[in-house]
Amino acid sequence: MSKRLIRDALNIPSSEITSESVYKQRRRLMQAALSAAVLPAFAFPSFARAAGYEIPDDLPRYPGPVWLRQKLASAVRNAELSVSDELAPYYHAITHNNFYEFGTDKRDPVRYAQKFKTDPWKVEISGEVAKPGNYNLEDILAPHALEDRVYRLRCVEAWSMVIPWLGFPLAELIKRFEPTSKAKYVQFTTILDKEQMSEQRSSFGTIDWPYVEGLRMDEAMNPLTLMAVGMYGNALPPQNGAPLRLVVPWKYGFKSIKSIVRIHFSETMPETSWNITAPKEYGFYANVNPAVDHPRWSQATERRLPSSLLSPNIVDTLPFNGYADQVAHLYKGMDLSKWF
Ligand SMILES: Nc1nc2c(c(=O)[nH]1)N[C@H]1C(S)=C(S)[C@@H](COP(=O)(O)O)O[C@H]1N2
Ligand SMILES: [Mo]
């Protein structure tokens, strides 16, 4: 198709088409908007309304399966563990994503994850644990009441946003499955599904699939560590890691692994995807730390979304992403420039 034809199809004035890259970016935006717009706009649960989350009518909601909806609607705000920073507009949270299984561009997940199947979903619990098994997500969630928590999310790429998650403490899940005394670490694994995830088919990828992440047991048991199943009062969108993801707010975003199918307890430190890929750049701990720069850029500040060229909205990065009071004790006596 010629440039002119595409331009006409999208109805963009020619004055705005200044270069191939601007045109490409625009086309991506349009495609993202289109794929989102075709989703039905369901009435969102009363919780979203009560919490005052603003979801413009032309943006999709992700209500999730019927069994999950009721749970989401009965979530309760945890004010004590929520920050008062301004929320990222919903649009930014669902269209600016890192989910490399669906592509490496920030707009790829919203474009390519919309048909991702997240129900039914199984989670395997394995390793050093008294009750291993393959469980339906519904059974995993059954005993847990959901909380609404507003957390900062700080990506290692030096941007950040503030998101209201719906989830429950990982500690509660861990206690239920009764890890043995040998369980010193927890490893999480994302689904491996080449049919649904285009980047897992690519032979040029940087990551050795499936994506894996891990925490030390005391980090996993910290009250801030959340298993999320929703955000902005609704189920998680697929691009944000539906149906089950980890959220560890004091660590760089890559620790917060998406679309989890396995939780494994081990005696030794597990492998983690970005550490395998570039061990000099990404450590196991990955605590947000303005004093330890990434080898290729500073970590002293961050671009808080929404951010644009004219108004970049740069803010100081805080040690442990502002959660030092709750987590600094976990690393007492450790040299954090060595254990980055
Ligand atoms: N499976 C998987 N999980 C992942 C990623 C990924 O590429 N694959 N990206 C991580 C990174 S780098 C970030 S910053 C967060 C982004 O979460 P969000 O898209 O919900 O903002 O997800 C993390 N979890
Ligand atoms: Mo990230």
Over the stretch 146-200, which tens digit does the pLDDT of each residue have?
A: 999 999 999 999 999 999 999 999 999 999 999 999 999 999 999 999 999 999 9
Q: Which of 62, 87, 92, 98 to mutate to test the pocket of ligand 1 (most atoms within 8 A of CB)?
A: 98
Burial of 324 (0-12, 13-18, 19+ CB in 10 A): middle
Q: Structural domain boundaries of the chain?
A: 3-331
The DSSP bridge pattern shows strands 234-235 and 226-231 to be antiparallel
Residue range 3-331 forms a domain whose CATH class is alpha beta
How many angstroms is it from 159 CA to the middle of ligand 2?
8
Considering only the C-alpha atoms of the chain, give the largest distance between any 2 of them, rounded to a whole number of Å. Answer: 67
**SS3 of residue 316 by DSSP:** strand
Single pTM value for the model: 0.88
Q: Go through 199-217 and write b for each residue having 16 or more CB atoms within 10 A of its CB, e for each that does not.
A: bbeeeeeebebbbbbbbbb
The DSSP bridge pattern shows strands 260-266 and 122-127 to be parallel
Q: What is the pLDDT of residue 54?
A: 82
Residues lining ion ligand 2 (Cβ < 5 A) are 98, 155, 253-254
Over the stretch 10-33, which tens digit does the pLDDT of each residue have?
A: 333 333 333 444 445 545 554 554
Shortest-distance atom of ligand 1 to CA 99 = 7
Contact 103, 189 (CB under 8 A): no
How far, in Å, CA of 240 to CA of 243, rounded? Answer: 9
**CB of 256 closer than 6 angstroms to any ligand 1 atom:** yes
Query: Residue length, the chain?
Result: 340
Mean pLDDT of all residues in the chain?
A: 89
Separation in Å, CA 301 to CA 54, 77, 309, 326: 28, 29, 16, 21
How far, in Å, CA of 227 to CA of 244, rounded? Answer: 7
